[in-house]
Amino acid sequence: MKKTLFLILVLIFIIIWFFKPTEKSLKIDLKFNRFDLEVFSLNQNNIIEKTSKWDSIYEGFPDIYTSQILNISSLDMGQYYNDLLTFVNHSDMREAYDTTLLLYSDISDIIFDLELAFGKFAYTFPKFPIPDITFFFGGFNYGVITYDNNIAIGLENFLGNRSKFYQYLATPEYLRFQKQKKFILSNIMEVWFNEHFQKYLGGRDLLSQMIYKGKMMYFLDYLLPKKNLANKFRYTSDQMKWVIDNETNIWEYLIYEDLLFSKNENEFRTFLSYSPFAKGMPREAPGRVAYFIGYKIVCSYMENNKVSIEELMYLNNSQEFLKRSKYKPVK
């Protein structure tokens, strides 16, 4: 009897293991649009015909693109066509677009990674919509946006930290660093996370925001397992090493300065946003250090509690969360 029971349990284990979905088996086909190619193919002879088909092909994005990203009004269609062609033919925009196209003529690697990530998302969060993905060129106005449960990516915002265009725009060096191709995926998944889970932010105090950001980084870690941690946090390797090595010091600083329950964002803004350094900490401390502490709290919570990643997203009592996480910074 015991032997039979043992064999049954072994068989169940084998079946579960054999049919456990792999990352590649979860990969799904997404709809991708190269709206940048469409816009920069416009000319005096084809603009009326091409733009008349936009709504049926691109389902809502063209209006957002022209009215909100390019700030072009469609009240006067003659002026609308003229403004679009002026944008497309402007020498600076054309040079920037040609540079963008050189870097992103082939986006198959991005498509592959997104189909893996959203396949895993669909499997884990089956009630949530799966987006169409549109790539555009918007004159450096927007990076990644969501609309109608879809995602649009301004490729010109990911030309690399040494791109001359960001220097022309006087973009600070610490922000230029964020504009690298390797950060596109983390940008997209952060925006997608905020679109669907921001309503579960527990409060405006630092602890609540820190745990929320920690969930976001845990979400990225789960959906992008092959990307290294520095890429997900958008840190240099030295910055990533510094926050790991100084986890205890960061935590003790937040406690000593009585910041955990503060709602005064002036006191902790640099801990949650991109900045050249974290105010009050050593100059080596990068911005967004609270993301890392929040991430470690969430990791500790998941190790010490039996909850799914979907259930994790809805927990918004920050003080109870911290207590149940049993978080202790690494010495």
Residue by residue, pLDDT tens for the chain (331 residues) are 555 655 555 445 444 444 455 665 788 899 999 999 999 999 999 999 999 999 999 999 999 999 999 999 989 999 999 999 999 999 999 999 999 999 999 999 999 999 999 999 999 999 999 999 999 999 999 999 999 999 999 999 999 999 999 999 999 999 999 999 999 999 999 999 999 999 999 899 999 999 999 999 999 999 999 899 999 999 999 999 999 999 999 999 999 999 999 999 999 999 999 898 899 999 999 999 999 999 999 999 999 999 999 999 999 999 999 999 999 998 7
What are the angstrom distances between the C-alpha of 127 and each of 16, 71, 88, 121, 310?
24, 35, 40, 10, 11
- For residue 30, give the H/E element and its range: none
Return d(Cα 285, Cα 40) in angstroms, integer: 42
What are the residue boundaries of the structural domains of the chain, listed by start?
26-194, 201-325
Q: What is the pTM of this model?
A: 0.90
Sheet of 144-147: strands edge to edge?
Answer: 32-34, 133-136, 150-154, 144-147
